[in-house]
Amino acid sequence: MAFESSSGYVAPSNLKDHEEQALPVFNLERVALQFSVASDFVAAQVANDILILALTTGRILRIDLSNPADIDDIDLPKKTTEVGIIRRLFLDPSASHLIITTTLNENFYLHAQSRQPKALSRLKGVNIESISWNPSQPTSTTREILIGAADGNIYELYIEQSTEFYRREERFCKHVYRADSAITGIWTDTLPGRQDTRRVLVATESKLLHFVGKVGRPGHEGSASIYSRMFEGEAPTVHSVPGTSQAAVSSLAISPESPEDSVSAGEERVFAWLTSRGVFHGKLLTSPDPSELGNRVYSEAKTLPRSVIPPSQSSTGRPRASQDNVASMVLTQWHVLQLVEGRLVAINRLDETVVLDQEVLEQGQSILGLVADMKKNTFWLFTSQAIFEIVVEDESRDIWRIMLRNKNFEAASKFAKTPEHRDAVSTAYGDHLVGRNQYMEAAVVYGRSTKPFEQVSLTLIDAGEQDALRRYLTTKLQNMKKTATMQRIMLATWLVEIYMAKLNSLDDTITTKAELSESMNTAETQDRLSGVRKEFQDFASKYRLDLDRKTTYDIISSHGREEELLYFANVINDYNYVLSYWVQRERWRESLDVLMKQTDPDIFYKYSSVLMIHAPAEMVDIMMRQTNLDARKLIPAFLNYNNTTTSTSLAQNQAVRYLQDEINRRNSTDAAVHNTLISIYASSRSQDETALLTYLEQQSYSSEQHYDADFALRLCIEHDRVQSCVHIYSSMGQPIQAVDLALKHDKIDLATSVANRSDVTPALRKKLWLAVARKVISQTQGIKAAIELLQKCDLLKIEDLIPFFPDFVVIDDFKEEICKALEQYSQNMDRLREEMDASEETARHIKSDIKALDQRYAIVEPGERCYVCRLPLLARQFFVFPCQHAFHSDCLGKKVVELVGTARGRKIRDVEMEVSKGTSVGAKREKLVKELDALVAGSCELAVRLIDEPFTTSADNKDEWAL
């Protein structure tokens, strides 16, 4: 039997942007699959986009719905006459395992990677009605699965695909439970966090059994039963339906897995049990304790009665008196799909409304059933000759309305997709909470709605719920657009007012030690106060951009909330305000704490004057840690500090400490900084000039004077800093003024130190010493001081000092010194006479040498060669030097040009060119020749110039020089 696809798989069209009222939830689309030879379907299953069809001929077709052309045609290992016609197909959710049962109770297993079904010998004769696949959904083996039979028995089976012909597929098969009637449905799942616990739902014709218990763990997987322990040790929770009709169809359905991007993802799955009375459905809860789980599941479940199904029309067009029989049932996320004879009926399980009632069967067709793809969340309807897909279009779009009508507001908000829907839910939920006096909860819900702002605010104000009003305004502010600037500012400002009023109210309660309510004491009020203050701080930090600075300051100040005022100023980085606040209150410690966290130089410049006066050491510590301050702009603060703290010593002067750090550590060259330091040194009340003089000497040693010398000199003169003045005069190159100033203040030693400076010329030194001598002699009027002065200076003689003595001084007082001076003069005269005699002798020798030059000659041997070109010397004009070097005149000229400097070489070339031109004749030519000879042959420079050249070169024969 050939199978071919005439038009392929018709995929459902995507949902487009239509009005939701115009879109049906379910749409039935025929899947166009045609057979070349007529043959009816007897069974069908879909899982994980794999379609399995069983034909009356015993063939099995496996079709990949993502690629309908990919069709596997599989035959049973035996003919239908031997095993019967295929009755049921059981396909696991992963589409890896398929169990086939026939009308003669023969059962076969087919793996997805195989094309040959294998008989399940241990299940031979078992009429399989339902299968519960392993919750882990394995693919290589089935692992432990439960088989429900028509006789009420439940078997545990473990199937592993085998390629060996004689090996059984079943690793083990064990009977684990027996019910009182046929097992029409069975389901197994695990409970979160309890991997060794299983829940098993077992449906019979009249009962639904709920088992929960721990399963066994055999040593080797597949070697023994794991469900025996649970079925033997646990009693099921039973839900019974009395008076069940034997002809009614009973089945168990579980809702498919929710897509990961679905709103309902992560929720409990739903079960539905079809009975003759209707559909019993509920959530497969995973809590509470397993022992109470069955009762909880049943207590929250409800029955969808058969009366909800609209009656079908009779042939006369009138409704039938009785309800039609339900042939099959599956669950979607929110609806129950039922096949009522030839109709497909979809009922919302939340509000029991019928959303679809459509005739399906055509003439001559019979219903096979409904199938749900648990993985792909698709739904299929099979007849004996046709396949339909039940396309679900935005199934949860109206769920929020149902939830809202049932006052399940949290769920309604979750499933509301559009802003309008969510707003409707929020408004209704808020009204519901207000009606129950739950104002705090209502405030949050109202904040997410568009209910008129004035109406909500007045409702909360009239109820006296200020806390709820605060929460409502906060929520409203959170959800308001950033572009609504004015509205955000108004809301934020109102919230500040409410916060301040609340804080003051709590403070008053604590102060009076009153209780806010019967259940709140003073300690609880204190905790409440801390919580509200923290809440305000979080609010101010988050919405600082929505608060007007001046308005907020005014509101907080009007309530006298100092802590909140300063917190807000810190949040908006208004450190000027914070510092001004603390400075005005003379809170210097707090002011410094704020300043310590700042890096803006302008703040330091602004507050340096006042803080230098009241906290100088700490202020300087903070400023010294800054790297971006301009010390010039801090000078007014230092001078003001220095004038205010006149009693402070220089060692404790904080302005001096900062300026010294600026100069010594940061190497400041700003003249204003240096001048300020000199000013503070010079104006100090201390008479000690050590600090000032040390600074001036350091500047001199560094050879870089960064201060203004004239300014420093004026200050030092004004404050009688003589030593410093003398140093400045000396550094300015004015030693005469330095000595005069020192002598004017009778500082002889200071004057002598200036006179002894090494950078003073001998003549000036003598002049300075004479000034010192005049002062010393005029003060002492004694010979001894003059004699000591002579010993200190080697430039002064006794005759230099005689004019400074008074007329009445007797020469006998310094006769000895005069004699010593005369003896010194005599010795000097003898030395000069000896030097004159030596000079005269030298002159005679020079004259004799000059006369001998006229008779000097040099002998040139016949084989003598030029020192440069090594050609015979006598071949052309040459020069011979006393050192025996001989050169051709032209060779010597070239060599000299190479060795001498640029200027002399250019001079030689110019003279040679002038001589070679021949334009000069007579005396002029002779003069040029002599000049050229003097330039070229003035001396033999080659002996000196070539002293570093090696004796041999690379061109010489080394063997000739070998030793």
pLDDT of 317 > 70? The answer is no
Token output for 962: 């070998």
The answer to whether the beta carbons of residues 723 and 713 sit under 8 Å apart is no
Tell me if residue 489 falls in helix, strand or coil: helix
d(CA 728, CA 600): 39
Distance, in Å, from the CA atom of 47 to the CA atom of 837, rounded to the nearest integer, reads 137
Give the range among 298-307, 401-410, 530-539 with minimum mean pLDDT: 401-410
- Measured CA to CA, the distance from residue 890 to residue 902 in angstroms comes to 19
Determine the average pLDDT of the residues in 303-317: 76
Report pLDDT for 17: 38
Q: For 161-206, how does the pLDDT look when each residue is reduced to its tens digit (9 = 90+)?
A: 876 655 667 788 999 999 999 999 999 999 888 888 999 999 999 9
Tens of pLDDT, residues 583-604: 888 888 988 888 888 888 888 8
Task: State the pLDDT at residue 448.
Answer: 86
Average pLDDT over residues 108-112: 93
Amino acid letter at 507? D
Of the candidates 729, 765, 767, the one whose C-alpha atom is nearest the C-alpha of residue 745 is: 729
Give residue-wise pLDDT tens across range 790-813: 556 655 555 555 555 555 555 555
Determine how many CB atoms are found less than 10 A away from the CB of residue 95. 22
Confidence of residue 4 (pLDDT cuts 50, 70, 90): very low
Please give the C-alpha separations between residue 770 and each of 738, 766, 790, 794, 806, in angstroms, as whole numbers.
14, 6, 10, 12, 16
Q: Which pLDDT belongs to residue 760?
A: 66
- pLDDT recorded at residue 110: 93
Amino acid in the structure at residue 162: S
Strand partners, 381: 370, 388
Strand partners, 185: 203
- The more confidently predicted of residues 314 and 850 is 850
Minimum mean pLDDT range among 120-134, 384-398, 613-627, 922-936: 922-936
Asked if residue 398 has pLDDT above 60, the reply is: yes
Looking up tokens 């550590």 gives: 665
Residue 140: exposure state from Cβ atoms within 10 A (0-12, 13-18, ≥19)? exposed
> What's the start-to-end Cα distance of the chain, in Å?
116
Of 423-427, 630-634, 702-706, 862-866, the least confident: 702-706
**Whole-angstrom distance, CA of residue 244 vs CA of residue 179:** 16
Q: What is the arithmetic mean of pLDDT over 83-97?
A: 93
Position 581, amino acid: Y
User: Distances from the Cα of 57 to the Cαs of 61, 193, 249, 332, 403, in angstroms?
Assistant: 11, 47, 26, 33, 50
> Residue 716: its pLDDT value, please?
86
**In this model, does residue 272 exceed pLDDT 90?**
yes
Which burial class, exposed, middle or buried, applies to 179 when counting CB atoms under 10 A from its CB (0-12, 13-18, 19+)? buried
Q: What is the pLDDT of residue 815?
A: 62
Q: Could you tell me the pLDDT band of residue 14, with boundaries at 50, 70 and 90?
A: very low
The phi, psi pair for 156, rounded to 5°, reads -105, 130
pLDDT band at 416 (very low <50, low <70, confident <90, very high): confident
Entry field: residues in the chain: 963
Residue showing tokens 């908006």:
572
Mean pLDDT over the full length of the chain: 81
State both tokens at 195. 């991997």
Q: 207-214 and 194-203 as β-strands: parallel, antiparallel, unpaired?
A: antiparallel
Confidence of residue 875 (pLDDT cuts 50, 70, 90): confident
pLDDT at 347: 93
Digit-coded pLDDT (tens) for 62-87: 998 888 878 888 999 888 888 999 99
| DSSP designation for 951 | S
Residue type, 25: V
CA distance 43 to 55: 7
Range from 42-46, 367-371, 844-848 carrying the lowest mean pLDDT: 844-848
Is the predicted pLDDT of residue 39 greater than 80, yes or no? no
Handedness of CA 343, 344, 346, 347 (dihedral sign): positive
pLDDT tens digits, residue range 527-575? 888 889 999 999 999 999 999 999 999 999 899 888 888 889 888 888 8
pLDDT band at 324 (very low <50, low <70, confident <90, very high): low
Share of the chain above pLDDT 90, in %: 24
- From 66-70, 653-657, 662-666, 800-804, the region with the lowest mean pLDDT: 800-804
Tell me the three state secondary structure of residue 909: helix
Tracing tokens 């006096």 back to the chain, one arrives at 437
Judge contact between 210 and 199, C-beta under 8 A. yes
Q: For 142-156, 525-539, 725-739, 920-934, which range has the lowest pLDDT when averaged over its residues?
A: 920-934
Which residue reads 């914070």 in tokens? Answer: 578
3-state helix, strand, coil in the chain (%, to 5): 45, 20, 35
Average pLDDT value for residue range 658-674:
88
Report the pLDDT averaged over residues 215-219.
74
Boundaries of every domain in the chain: 140-240, 400-568, 587-807, 873-961
Least trusted range by pLDDT, from 84-88, 140-144, 530-534, 854-858: 854-858
Gyration radius (Cα) of the chain, Å: 60
Report the share of the chain in percent with pLDDT over 70: 81
Strands (E) across 471-539 are located at none
pTM for this model (two decimals): 0.59
Residue in the block written with tokens 């399963």: 215
Residue 39 CA neighbour count, 13 Å, CB half? 21
Tell me the pLDDT band of 2, cut-offs 50, 70 and 90. very low
Q: DSSP string spanning 26-45? A: EEEEEE--EESS---EEEEE
pLDDT higher at 793 or 138? 138
Distance separating alpha carbons of residues 53 and 109, to the nearest angstrom: 15
